[in-house]
Amino acid sequence: MSKENLNEKIVSLCANRGIIFPSAEIYGGVAGFFDYGPVGVTLKNRIRSFWRSEFIIKMNSIYEIESSIILPRIVWEASGHLEGFTDVLVECKKCQTQYRADHLIQDTLKIATDGKSFEELSEILIKNTIKCPNCKGELASTQKFNLMFKTHIGAAKQSVNEAFLRPETAQAMFIDFKRIQQTMRASLPFGIAQIGRSYRNEISPRNFLFRLREFEHLEIEFFVHPAGKDDLPDELWAKVKDLQVAILSIPQQEKEEEAKLMKASEILEQRIFSCKWLLYWTLISYDWLVRVGLDPSKLRLRQHMLNERAHYAADCWDIEFQYSFGWKELQGIADRTDYDLKKHSKFSKKELNIHLTEENIKVVPHVIEPSWGLERVIQALLESAYVEEKERTLFKFNSYIAPFQIAVFPLMKNREEIVERSKEITTNLKQFNFQILYDEKSSIGRRYRRVDEIGVPFAVTIDFDTLEDNTVTVRDRDSMEQERVPIKNLAEMFQKRLSFI
C-alpha cells in the first residue's frame, strides 16, 4: 500500500464509520476542525486516561490543573506570543489564495525550510520567482501572520479588553505556578500538568489531524532546581535506562547522516542532551508512545538545530513519527530554562520563585517541558494500527487503548432466549466499566468484520449451547481464534486482558 493511499484510506474509514470527520460537515466542513463520533471520542478518552495514569497518578509530585482557554492580552505579551508567534504568509495577487511561505517553498522546490527566518523565506520566494500554484498568478510581498485567535472580553471592543484563545496550555502553568506550589506544599523538583484544547489560526491546516486550528495539548511543566538539572533519582533512571531509540542529533544532521539506534546509557555518556532531566522526559515520553501502540520503527528523536530552537531554550528535541506524508514532529520536549517564570514575574510584578529554607535563598526554577499534541498521537496510532488482510480491514489497537473493548452478539436475533441472555451478559459486563458494543443485526461474519474495522479486541457470541452449558464463544480480533468461556469467568478474564495497570 502506498503511503498516500494509507492516509486516504484512514481518512475515509474514519469518516465512513463516524470515528472522526470534518466539523460543520453538512455546510461543507471547515479546514482544521474535526468532530469525533462515539468511537473516536472513546479512543481519545482512552489515550487521555492512559496519559493521566502514567504521568500524573503513577508519578510523584505532578499536579494537574485546568485553566481558562481565554486569557488577557498581557499574558501573551509576557510570554512573547504576541510578538513572535507568527508564520510567514504570502498571498496571490490574482486569486487571493493564501499560503504559508515555508510550505509553499517545500512543495514547489522540494527543499527543507526548518528554522528559516522571515527574510530568508521571502528571499527564496523572490529568487525562484515562485508563482501561485492555483492560478499561476504573481505573489504579493510576504507578511508576518500571528496565529492566535483574538477576541474581546465584555462588550467594549477596546484594546484593554483584548484577549486571546490560548495557543498552548503551558502559560497557565507558569502563571499559576506560585499558587500550586504553595497550596500543594511542593518542593523541587515537581511538575504541573494540564490536558486541554489549544487554538492556532493555522494558515494552511493539512494532513487530516496533523495540523489543526483546534487541538488538544497534553503538557507538563516540570520545575527543577537550576543547579539540579542532572540530579535524576536512580529509580527514575531505572525506568528508562534499557531503552534503545533512534537518535538524530545536531552533528548528525549537519553531516546529513541517518538516525542511529542508541542505548539510553550511551546517550547519557555522550552528553547529547543538555541535562539528565531532559533526557529522562524524552525517553519516558517515547516509552509511553510505544505503549500506546505506535510503531517504534517509525519513531525517532531529533534535536532542534540552533536556528530552529526558541531563543530561550537551552536544548529542544522532537519525537518524530514517520507519518504517511513524511517524518514530522509528534511531540516536543524542551529545556525552557527560567525564561517563562522570569518574564511573567516581570510583567505581573509578582515574585515567581521558591524559597529554599535550608539554604535560605530564593531560586527561580528551570523548566523541562514535554508537550504532546493528542491528535498527532491519534493519527500516528491510526497509521500504526491499520492493517489490511485478505478478507478484512482492521485497527490492531492494544486492548487497553481500543475504544470499544468487547462486542456482544446474539447468534440469532429472532431467538428470544438468546437475545435475552445476550442483553443480560451486556448489562453485567457494563457493571465492570467495559465499553461494550451490542449488535444483533446482519450475519455473524459481517458483524465480526464491522467490529474488526473499529478495532474491538474481543467479541462474545451467545448461541444455543450457551442456553445449555452457560458458556459463550470469545473471539480474539487479531488471531481470530475462538475459545469457549464460562459466563461466570468473563468479567475476570476481560479485566486481566484489557487492563493497562
**Would you state the cell numbers that stand for residue 370, as one nine-digit string?**
514535554
Q: Tally helices (H) and strands (E) across the chain.
A: 18, 26
Residue 335 or 369: which CB sits closer to ligand GAP?
369
Using a 10 angstrom Cβ sphere, with 0-12 exposed, 13-18 middle and 19 or more buried, the burial of residue 39 is buried
The candidate with the shortest Cα–Cα distance to 301, out of 254, 270, 260, 255, is 260
Q: Which residue is nearest to ligand GAP (CB)?
A: 373
Residue 124 or 330: which CB sits closer to ligand GAP?
330
Query: What is the distance between the alpha carbons of residues 273 and 266, in angstroms, rounded to a whole number?
Result: 11
Residue 316 or 462: which CB sits closer to ligand GAP?
316
Q: Given its phi and psi angles, is residue 61 left (phi above 0), alpha (psi -120 to 50 degrees) or beta?
A: left
Coil vs helix vs strand at 460: strand
* Shortest distance, position 312 Cβ to ligand GAP, whole Å: 12
CA dist 179 → 88, 229, 330, 354 (Å): 37, 23, 31, 11
Query: What is the distance between the alpha carbons of residues 314 and 167, in angstroms, rounded to a whole number?
Result: 22
Residue 208 or 404: which CB sits closer to ligand GAP?
208
CB atoms within 10 A of CB 393: 13
Residue 14 or 474: which CB sits closer to ligand GAP?
14
Query: What is the distance between the alpha carbons of residues 485 and 466, in angstroms, rounded to a whole number?
Result: 10
In the complex, which residues of this chain contact ligand GAP (CB under 6 A)? 168, 170, 200, 202, 211-212, 215, 217, 219, 329-332, 369, 371-373, 375-376
Residue 14 or 436: which CB sits closer to ligand GAP?
14
Residue 240 or 319: which CB sits closer to ligand GAP?
319
End-to-end CA distance of the chain: 35
* Shortest distance, position 84 Cβ to ligand GAP, whole Å: 12
Residue 73 or 211: which CB sits closer to ligand GAP?
211
**Cis peptide leading into residue 38 (ω within 30°):** no
Question: Going edge to edge, which strands form the sheet with 406-410?
Answer: 436-438, 406-410, 458-462, 471-476, 482-486
Block residue for cell numbers 504559508: 100
The candidate with the shortest Cα–Cα distance to 46, out of 495, 401, 451, is 401
DSSP category for residue 186:
-
* Shortest distance, position 20 Cβ to ligand GAP, whole Å: 13
* Shortest distance, position 147 Cβ to ligand GAP, whole Å: 8
Q: Given its phi and psi angles, is residue 18 left (phi above 0), alpha (psi -120 to 50 degrees) or beta?
A: left
* Shortest distance, position 129 Cβ to ligand GAP, whole Å: 30
Q: Given its phi and psi angles, is residue 302 left (phi above 0), alpha (psi -120 to 50 degrees) or beta?
A: beta
Residue 202 or 315: which CB sits closer to ligand GAP?
202
Query: What is the distance between the alpha carbons of residues 469 and 465, in angstroms, rounded to a whole number?
Result: 6
Using a 10 angstrom Cβ sphere, with 0-12 exposed, 13-18 middle and 19 or more buried, the burial of residue 113 is middle
Phi and psi (nearest 5°) for 57? Answer: -65, -45
* Shortest distance, position 378 Cβ to ligand GAP, whole Å: 10
**Would you state the cell numbers that stand for residue 139, as one nine-digit string?**
505573489
Residue 376 or 447: which CB sits closer to ligand GAP?
376
* Shortest distance, position 32 Cβ to ligand GAP, whole Å: 7
Residue 199 or 458: which CB sits closer to ligand GAP?
199
Coil vs helix vs strand at 44: helix
* Shortest distance, position 336 Cβ to ligand GAP, whole Å: 8
* Shortest distance, position 98 Cβ to ligand GAP, whole Å: 16
Residue 69 or 485: which CB sits closer to ligand GAP?
69
Under 8 Å between Cβ of 178 and 348: no
Give ∠ CA 113-116-117 in degrees, rounded to 5: 150
Could you tell me which residues come within 8 angstroms of residue 210 by beta carbon, excluding any fewer than 6 positions away?
Answer: 323, 325, 328, 375, 376, 379
Residue 208 or 448: which CB sits closer to ligand GAP?
208
